[in-house]
Structure 1
Amino acid sequence: MQKFSNSIDNINSYLLILTAFFLPLTVFGGNFFAILIFLLWIVKADFKSDFQRLKNNKLVVAVFLYLLVHVIALLWTADIESGLWTLKKQLKFLFIPIFMLFVKREHIKYYILAFLASMSLSEIWSYGIFFELLPLYGGATLIDPIPLMSHITYNPFLAIAIYLLSYYVLFDHSLGRFKKTTYSFFIITMSINMFITGGRAGQVMYFAMLVILIFQYFPKNAFKAFLISSIVVMATYSTFYVNSKIFSDRVDVAMTELSNYKNHMHSSTGMRISSAINSWSIIKENPIIGVGTGDYKNEFIKASIKNNLKLEDKLVIHNPHNMYVLILVQFGLLGLVAMLYMFYTQIKIAINSNEKFVKKIGVALPLLYLLIMLSDSYLMVHMTGLLFIFISSFVYKDYESDKQYRLKTAK
């Protein structure tokens, strides 16, 4: 029986490598391998031991509290069907503890390498379309050459990939010269690719990622880090603003929409502002526990009529494009605290870790998501949510405690 259990553990760790590779390429691929891991976990059927291995992990506890809020808030939602749909969208967070059971410390480099290899292929494909060497595919255009995702998800994926490459170049002193040169090359090409595509949230995430990296590189000199990061961000912004038409156009459009949003209510920025205004009127009336898991749509329509801010965009009616606003409407302060506690546990685990990798990426990941969630509900968006889940599973696992438990039960 132990041999069978170990075989499933090994198989699932290799399946996680495939999950990492296919996650940026296709929704089906990422889902397929994640579900296969889930099914093998069910077949293994060692639930009592799994509970013992996970019960002291604070992130796992935080995840269950976050999901529990979704379940409890069904009690006061009027639209049960929509509530169950929302709950179903968030049940993917159960993959954090499930993946944690199978990730192996010695395979972390392969999880990351598989993800980076996949992102490199996506980037090369994007350049192929940009230079008209490859035909248009999916939703890609010559102006926004992203073949496999929308820019809403592609650019955040790209920012995470650039951070991981930069981590190895800056902090992994065991990295050989050839790998360091190769990684540096892809940092540059991915950075350029970031600004020939149209994802503004990912671009903001990129600038924040630069600041985080510089502060992590100079951990004992905050003034120096601030000065250097300011110069780097301004120089990078200016360079791409001057040389990338799509970036400069998107920045100019955003500034115009922001300064006079009432004349641009159906624009990207205008809809977000109008959504926030409508949502705020709902939050004021239901500040503690919200309107329930499934009532965002109905309450939003009522508020938009009341505020004379009717929006025809169906996506906005279902999603305010702001994770904080969505959570506050659905679950009030109760839900916001539950969500933020999840990020708090990630940062706390990272700060208390003795491992350099966990200290760096363990802080960067939640900070970057906390930022981009201002522009969209990125934990609800399937691909970015699954990326967050996947990385969390191997960064925040307590490998030493798990090892001690396994040795104890093996006797």
Structure 2
Amino acid sequence: MTFADFRARIPAINSWLLAGVFFMIPVTVAPAYWLTALILVLWLIEGRLGQKLRALAAEPLVWAFVAYFAVFALSLLWSDDLSWGRRLLGRQYLFLLFPLYLSVAQRGHFARYVSAFLLSVTMCELLTFYNWAQLHVWPELPDGIRVDKGADDTAPFVDRILYAPALALAGYLSAHRLLFELTSLRARMPYVALFAATVFNLLISGGRAGLVGFLALLTMLAFQRLVRRPMLAAGVAAALVGGIVFGGYYGNDYFRLRMDRAFDEVVRYEELPKASVSQRIVYAANAWRVFAEHPLIGVGLGDTREAYREMNARHTPKWKPAWNPHNHYLYVLTAVGALGAVALAAVLLLPWLLDAPPDGRERVRRALPLLFIVICLFESYLMRSNTTLMFVLFTAASWCGVRGRPA
């Protein structure tokens, strides 16, 4: 094989490597970084850099993702604690990889990327089932592969905060294949099983944000499938959401315990300074106070921790201070103010405003931002490695080869 032949094969090689990055989403991101580094080296060796850079410069989403990172980097100029600021900025570097992923992804290989992700989720679900059985049914079984975060976590590699959003997207994608891509019963049956297993995993995972995000996606899916019959779609969505919630509540003790506990903590949050939901209510209130005092450009990424601590000491001294308000909107507002809000709105809403042809990916392009719009109410998910990687990768894969224009 000549060097020219090797360079000609690089796009195909990089597409397979990119599928490997998708596989890492619910597992661990460390190998994803190594795979990405290899993709970058091959991308450079392939050449045609001017052509590729011009193509990327024509993509509105590239500018939105880079600008989002740049706003946080710029905020270090008005931050006193640069060490903490650089540490938090490191959680945003994945946004800078979006142009590379967009350039490498191939629109004809979208099914491959989805399959790699679903295969990884399936593996995690099988391990989760074993962990759940070992914890609740057959405690005499040997310990399985289980994340060391909490005594009741059943996920194998990441805790429920990161695991449940991946399950939510996997549930949507498996149902999407059932409804829009597959026709034969034989081809559909594995995805019926995967969808059912994913719903059960969501109920036993304890990840409440992921479950809420999944229910939002399920509602969207009903309207996507019954686009010409909105009343029927609303009824189907209500039946599905109600069936999952009530079935989970009355059929699973752990799910019922988590739901009852959440309700109790909302009602009595002032009496429960160590409870999870109570802390989130207080964190949100204090973060909003920080933003109200610094509305335009925030306190700067590096000074968020100290600003939260000071506001906590002033208003809620019984609570342990937070370094993260567990709400991505408030995280952005406190760090970079209204400037950051504009950047975040571009990242989340631009996929809704750009026009694109119906190529089989159009429904996923709308579903992904909806998932993050919902779950970011409950956690700073676009500064968490696994979920940020999921958002960046699927946005790149669903928009590659499409030159968006404002609708």
Q: Which of these residues, 389, 398, 401, is aligned with residue 401 of structure 2?
A: 398
Instruction: Tell whether 2:342 aligns with 1:340.
Output: no
Which residue identity lines up with residue 319 of structure 1 in the other structure?
A: N
Residue ranges of structure 1 left out of the alignment (5+ in a row): 402-411
Change in 2 beyond 3 A, CA 1:288/1:235: same
Please name the residue that 1:275 is paired with. 283
State the one-letter code of the partner of 2:301. T
Aligned length: 395
5+ residue gaps, structure 2, are 135-140
Q: CA contact under 8 A between 1:23 and 1:29: conserved in structure 2?
A: no
Could you tell me how far apart the structure 2 residues matched to 1:92 and 1:335 are?
17
Find 1:304's aligned residue among 293, 305, 312.
312
Aligned: 1:85 with 2:87: yes
1:226 corresponds, among 210, 234, 240, to 234
Q: Classify 1:216/1:312 alpha carbon distance in 2 versus 1 (closer, same or farther; 3 Å).
A: same
Report what 1:236 is aligned to.
244
Q: 1:159 aligns with which of 158, 163, 168?
A: 168
Identify which range, 282-291 or 133-142, moves more after superposition: 133-142
**Conserved 8 A contact 1:69-1:335:** yes
Equivalent residues in 2 for 1:186-265 (5 A)?
A: 186-265=194-273
In 2, distance between residues paired with 1:143 and 1:297?
29
Corresponding residue of 1:25: 27
2:387 aligned residue: 384
Name the CA shift for 1:321/1:175 in 2 (closer, same or farther; >3 Å).
same
Which piece of structure 1 moves more, 141-150 or 328-337? 141-150
Native 8 Å contact 1:129 1:142 kept in 2: no
The Cα shift of 1:4 comes to 4.8
Give me the CA root mean square deviation.
1.9
Measure the CA separation in 2 of the matches of 1:304 and 1:399: 46
What secondary structure is seen at the aligned counterpart in 2 of 1:196?
helix
The question of whether the paired residues in 2 share the 8 Å contact of 1:143 and 1:246 is answered with no
2:138 aligned partner? none
Answer yes or no: is the 8 Å Cα contact 1:22–1:118 preserved in 2: yes
> How has the CA–CA distance of structure 1 residues 259 and 356 changed in structure 2, closer, same or farther, with 3 Å as cutoff?
farther
Partner of 1:292: 300
Cα distance in structure 1, aligned partners of 2:7 and 2:352 = 32
Query: What is the distance in 1 between the residues matched to 2:45 and 2:319?
Result: 48
Letter of the aligned partner of 2:288 in structure 1?
W
TM, length-normalised to structure 1: 0.91
Q: Which amino acid aligns with 2:116?
A: A
* Cα deviation, residue 143, structure 1: 4.1
Picking from 148, 154, 167, the partner of 1:145 is: 154
Q: Deviations over 1:144-175 (max 9, x none)?
A: 32111100011111111111110010111x54
Partner of 1:97: 99
Q: 2:363 maps to which residue?
A: 360
Worse-superposed segment, 323-332 or 57-66: 57-66
Q: Using a 3 Å threshold, how does the CA distance of structure 1 residues 199 and 77 change in structure 2: closer, same or farther? A: same
Query: Counterparts of 1:113-152 in structure 2 under 5 Å?
Result: 113-132=115-134, 135-139=143-147, 143-152=152-161
- Tell me by how many angstroms 1:134 deviates: 5.3
Task: Indicate whether 1:328 and 2:365 are aligned.
Answer: no
Q: Which amino acid aligns with 1:34?
A: T
Q: Is the CA contact (8 Å cut-off) linking 2:75 and 2:300 kept in structure 1? A: yes
- Contact preservation (8 Å) 1:282, 1:303: yes
| Residue in 2 that maps onto 1:369 | 372
